[in-house]
Structure 1
Amino acid sequence: MPLYLIHRERENQRNPHGARAALVYAAGPAAAIATANALVPGANTPFDGFATIEVAATAGGSHVDTYFDGDAVNVLGMTRGGSPA
């Protein structure tokens, strides 16, 4: 199963729970959004409308699905347009 990064596409795209990105294993992009949404307790679909990027084609290591409030795009070294920073 692929590993997906879910992140906000625009600088002003935020949700009230502070969740800005997630890293999850899922069967596809839609499933990745659903999985990420389930990670934020008490939230109502915080990742709907966010972008998904497949970062690994197969499962590996001991990754645990997680969300975080930092800017994941900077972690990848990319700008919001997808170009190297």
Structure 2
Amino acid sequence: MPIPVLNSPPPRISLMAAGEIREALAAIEEGKPATAIAALLAIDPVSWQAIEHRLVAIVGSDLRDLLLRAAAGSDQVVLSAVG
């Protein structure tokens, strides 16, 4: 008899992690890479999973690609992912 697979809810982004992402994006825009890295390192693992899942669904790429685009000045990509 097969074992049923339980559908667990998708991971959620905590309010703290959302704030850290915004802080990281603002720091990139201001040319403060150390502040951006510190903000990203403060994000909890469950929120990271949720962020990765949402980015792939919305932007079609991962956080690294999004941050590289943001650093290059692709504001449209950043605004659609955060808003």
TM-score for both structures, normalised by structure 1? 0.28
- Name whichever structure is richer in helix by fraction: 2
TM-score for both structures, normalised by structure 2? 0.29
Larger radius of gyration: 2
- Name whichever structure is richer in strand by fraction: 1
Q: Which has the higher contact order (CA 8 A, sep 6+)?
A: 1
